[in-house]
Chain A
Amino acid sequence: MSQSDDSEDGAGGVFSRRGFIRGAASTAAVLPLSARAVAQAPTVAPEAQSPAGTDVHTVTLRINRQLHTLSLDPRTTLLDALRDHAGLTGTKKGCGHGQCGACTVHLDGERILSCLTFAIMADGHDVTTIEGLSADTGALHPMQQAFIDHDAFQCGYCTPGQIMSAIACVGEGHARSAAEIREYMSGNLCRCAAYPNIVAAIDQARGSQEN
């Protein structure tokens, strides 16, 4: 996960779509930050991109064990705060209306939809995103590995949300059978229909997560 984000972000001098868009959109010369660099040090985000005079609040989020102090318009969703203000683009925006599950993250250890959460309401809370799963050694979380082992994706867009949801599903004790996995994972849609592989991946990872 973090490898693909790095290359998307243009870390290491590789030209990328996201790096280009960021560079072109900013009038000042600003170096694109990689998701990893942001995660390594507490940062204060640039001013919220909102019209002058807008109510801007300081919001502190503990994201993947790092404190982030962000200046946010109260309308900012947790999803947009993660992606556009903390630079953590691993969490995906699918429908933006709580119908697809692509934006699933953990808030205080429980899976929730970041697109239906105002970031200001999460002030002071713990957020875990897909970028926070792998160990410091770079070793993948067993659920990430299981998704690779079972080819549990095709286009990959829903995958970060699927994996965050799947880890919570096992943690809640709701992954004891294929039928139960399907029911408790129904909030995560996969338009490529990798469902049988996703169920197999969760079934495999359940063993290592529970041990």
Chain B
Amino acid sequence: MQRFAYRRASSTASAVHMARSATEVNQAHAQRPSTADTAVQFIAGGTNMTDYMTLNVLKPATLVDISRLPRESHARIESDATGGLRLGALVRMSQAEDHPVIRGSYPLIRDTLVLAASRQIRNMATLGGNILQRTRCEYYREPSWPCNKRSPGSGCAALDGVNRQHAVLGTSEHCIATYAGDFAQALIALDASIETLGGPRGARRIAFADLHRLPGTTPHIEHTLAPGELITFIDVPAGPWTVRSRYVKVRDRESYQFAVTSAAVALHLEGRTVREARIALGGIATVPWRARQAEELLKGRVLDETLAMKAAEAALVGAQPRKENAFKIPLTKHTLVRALLEAQAMQV
């Protein structure tokens, strides 16, 4: 592991200040511009960061420890008068999965947390860190391989390599790494937004759908946050669809495994007719993936298996498989059909 300077922040203001001054120092000394963006990293749960530092995939010069920000303000789960959720960025995954409001009114969020990682990891990992987790692409994980995301311009070994786990949506000729998270699928489906500090003009709110960037020609730039910008809160608006919501995750192993395919679904039904649908797909795209065409197709119609499959077909239009991952296209369709029918069958 490369040496790093350790800084411990006691408030968001000090965290942002520490990150900004360390970023300025690093930008002045960075050998390549691309390393400047990742030279200063916030760390809280550390489950992903520590692992990738051990592997020499991430080599931050400075770590700013934000795990000691006041928990009473930054590790709180609140619901507002309308029933919307406000989640502090330092809320642990396990804390959220056990929370009565999330269990009762946001089963989709609860499912994405419970079905992720292991309880030990969920006791450590924070929600703010979870949404910015890195891909588990095996070529990204192992620094001896070319990887445009880890080492810009070096090429992509996955394109013609072992790519069974890789993405079929949102890919480019420079990167096909899958976004591995589950929680983010719930957030993008439910129109969440985040609050940040230390951005270009101080505090700001960003729609969750605008946080992650498609790989395009710059797969190493994964999100729209500025260097040293800190996520402080995640907000999820209430809606009549949150109660009837479901996450189906298909894995190679029954537990403690990333998704091969997954579907996040939230439905507002009137009888058997769909008034509103919210759909996201995981395991198959380079970023959290909202399936709006499928949502539009369901709207105002009676949901049955035939219509669910039509929606699934619409969701996968434009999918581009490589040698080993074409199976994900039909598997995703069936995953989505199952999620839609199971959400419809929920007693709410």
- By the criterion CB–CB under 8 Å, are A120 and B255 in contact? no
In-complex Cβ contact of B123 among A54, A74, A77, A112 (8 A): A112
- Name B256's closest neighbour in chain A (CB-CB): A186
A121 to B47, CA, bound (A): 12
> Which of B6, B121, B256 is in CB contact (< 8 Å) with A74?
B6
Give chain B interface residues in 1-31, CB to chain A under 8 Å.
1, 3-6
Could you say which residues of chain B place their CB within 8 Å of the CB of A182? 255
Stretch of B112-120, B160-168, B310-318, B335-343 with 4 or more beta carbons under 8 angstroms from chain A: B112-120
Whether the pair B46, A54 counts as a contact (CB closer than 8 A) is no
Could you say which residues of chain A place their CB within 8 Å of the CB of B5? 55, 74
Given contacts A121-B46, A168-B119, 7 further A-B contacts (CB under 8 A): A97-B54, A111-B119, A112-B123, A113-B120, A116-B124, A174-B119, A188-B118
The answer, among B51, B67, B255, for a CB contact under 8 Å with A98, is B51
User: Which B residues, 73 to 120, have Cβ-Cβ distances below 8 Å to chain A?
Assistant: 94, 117-120
- The CA-CA distance from A184 to B123 in the complex, in Å, is 12
Contacts of B118 in A (CB 8 A): 101, 186-188
Option from B50, B67, B121 in Cβ contact (under 8 Å) with A77: B50
Q: Smallest CB-CB separation from B118: which chain A residue?
A: A187
Please report whether the interface of chain B is mostly helix, strand, loop or mixed according to DSSP: mixed
Please give the residue numbers on chain B whose beta carbons come within 8 Å of chain A beta carbons, in ascending order: 1, 3-6, 43, 46-47, 50-51, 53-55, 63, 65, 67, 94, 117-121, 123-124, 254-256
Give chain B residues whose Cβ lies under 8 Å from the Cβ of A186: 118, 254-256
* Given A55-B6, A112-B124, A187 contacting B47 (CB threshold 8 A): no
Chain A: which residue is nearest B257 at the CB level? A186
Whether B124 and A113, one on each chain, are in contact in the complex, defined by CB atoms closer than 8 angstroms, is yes
Query: Is the C-beta of A129 less than 8 angstroms from some C-beta in chain B?
Result: no
